Each structure stands twice: as C-alpha cells, then as structure tokens.
Amino acid sequence: MSIETTTENHRTIGVTPSAPWRIKAVTVLPDYRLSVTCNDDTSGIVDMSLLVKSERAGMYSELKDEQLFSRVCLELGVLTWPNGADLDPEWVHDEVSGNKSWSVTV
C-alpha cells in the first residue's frame, strides 16, 4: 500500500467547522492504520484493523478494500471515506491525546 498524506487546505466558503477538535493532517500507513495530527498539533496512530475486520463493522467493513481505505480524506476536519464512513474528530483527539495510539473497535 502506498503512503499518502492529506492535509486540509481548502474549505467550503461560508462553512466553519464547529467541532473544537479537528484533524488537520492524515497519512495512510500499512495494516489499516492512520497517522493523524489534530488542529492543536496532538498526533498519534489510529489503528482500524480490528474494526474493519469485525463481523459487526457495518459500513466500515467495506474499508477492508485497501484501495478504498487509502482514499481517506479530510472534510471539515473529519476523517471521511467515499462510502460515507467517518470518524468523529473529537473522539479521535481524546483517544490519541492520552495514548498516542488508538485501536478502534466496534
């Protein structure tokens, strides 16, 4: 899998993100992991391997397709995928700020 970094450089005119914590950069890592940096420079690793492989993953199970997983992007500071899956940036911030690593489960 190729490593790719996405940063949020553009915003929709007139739309201001209201969440106190937003993701400002994401890099796709091997094994369904993401390196994230928040707007306050808190950073860490989000490991989504357990989630995407779970039988109860719902729409996140589609992210087992590594090409789809690698298409993560930032939309108003939220990690989003083309299939509609996303992760709450405040939740991401809370988890990585204390542990520097977060294994997302169902």
CATH code (residue 62): 3.30.2020.10
Total of domains in the chain: 1
| 2: in domain | no
The pLDDT value given to residue 98: 86
pLDDT higher at 4 or 72? 72
Percent of the chain with pLDDT over 70: 82
Give the range of the structural domain holding residue 72, as residue numbers without chain letter: 20-101
pTM for the model: 0.82
Residue 30 has pLDDT above 80, yes or no: yes
| 6: in domain | no
Closest CA to 96 of 20, 59, 41: 41
- 3-state DSSP assignment of residue 31: coil
Q: Distance between alpha carbon 13 and the CA centroid of its chain, in Å?
A: 23
**What is the mean pLDDT of the segment spanning 31-55?**
96
| 90: in domain | yes
Residue 10 has pLDDT above 80, yes or no: no
Answer for the pair 1, 66: CB distance below 8 angstroms, yes or no. yes
| 14: in domain | no
| 15: in domain | no
pLDDT range class, residue 21, cuts 50, 70, 90:
confident
Question: What is the four-CA torsion angle of 76, 80, 47, 5, rounded to 10 degrees?
Answer: -70
| 92: in domain | yes
Distance CA 64, CA 44 (A): 21
